[in-house]
Amino acid sequence: MQPHIIAVDLDGTLLDDNKNISLRNRAALAKVRELGHKVVIATGRPYRASEVYYKELFLDSPMVNFNGAFTHHPKDPSGFQTSHSPLDKGTAHSVIETCEAFRVQNIMVEVMDEYYLRYKNKGFAGAFTLGQSPVEYGNLAEILKVDPTSILVHPEDSNYRQLRDLLEDAHAEVIDQRSWGAPWNVIEIVKKGLSKAVGLKKISDYYGIPKERVIAFGDEDNDLEMLDYAGCGVAMANAIDELKSVSNEQTVTNEEDGVAAFLEDRFNI
């Protein structure tokens, strides 16, 4: 069989609800790698919050972070052309001001693997800091002096939809926004035109593997373009309906080892 790329989202897809990779999923990915296929992580997370899974799977491939804003090769940074496409600083300030008007629970501004916080130790932030302290926290419009990789916003649940609509109306020409879904309902904002599919195409070109031989797994709206790009887009049973509508196939939930279940059947492992 010719080599394939197996692209996996993390949260809600490869990871169970406790944020772990099951033994079955780990074994299935190891077996497809033994067959000569390439396993690639494609996530909205920064590298610092996905590195542990990259190492746990013993990967030696490029990966997609920040929903396509940062595509890189942790093991071969000189051999793979790293791509970093940050937001314009002025746009970021405008987005932050919009969010401040809604008195959101917290805002995290990512600059590669450093970050800035609006409020320390509040809302979703603890889940993604991994013990690393912010460069600064406080008034982000004053603190932020560089173009950020992405902005994570944790609104009040009652204002979630209204804030997304307002951001779309005010900044649609320069930003793309994604939902992280439960349990935080976090909104991630990146530069317009970026997606996991953009990063995955760079990796496909690097390996010389056409999209017809790309299998991608996902569950949320930040996986839409990736599943649409892949020759075989696989939606988890726990995926949003919109993702299922663009997928080629579906598998069981992340809690039922859906990635492994599909790969075991597809590759007879």
Whether 263 contacts 252, CB under 8 Å: no
Rounded Cα gap, residues 191 and 148, in angstroms? 9
Maximum C-alpha span of the chain = 56
Candidates 9, 176, 219, 223; catalytic one: 9
267, amino acid identity: F
Res 48: pLDDT: 87
**Nearest of 158, 119, 166, 164 to residue 138 by alpha carbon:** 119
Name the H helices within the chain.
23-34, 51-56, 89-101, 126-129, 140-143, 160-171, 196-207, 224-229, 241-246, 258-266
Write out pLDDT tens, residues 9-19: 999 999 999 99
Rounded Cα gap, residues 32 and 147, in angstroms? 39
The pLDDT tens digits along the chain (269 residues) read 899 999 999 999 999 999 999 999 999 999 999 999 999 999 988 898 899 999 999 999 999 999 999 999 999 989 999 999 999 999 999 999 999 888 888 999 999 888 999 988 666 666 666 667 788 889 998 999 999 999 999 888 888 888 888 888 888 889 988 877 666 678 889 999 999 999 999 999 999 999 999 999 999 989 999 999 999 999 999 999 999 999 999 999 999 999 999 999 999 99
Whether 113 contacts 66, CB under 8 Å: no
Write out pLDDT tens, residues 181-232: 666 678 889 999 999 999 999 999 999 999 999 999 999 989 999 999 999 9
What six digits make up the tokens of 185? 């309902």
Whether 155 contacts 108, CB under 8 Å: no
User: Does the active-site annotation cover 9?
Assistant: yes
Res 33: pLDDT: 98
Compute the Cα dihedral for 54, 49, 47, 196 and give only its sign. Answer: positive
User: pTM value?
Assistant: 0.90
Whether 260 contacts 32, CB under 8 Å: no
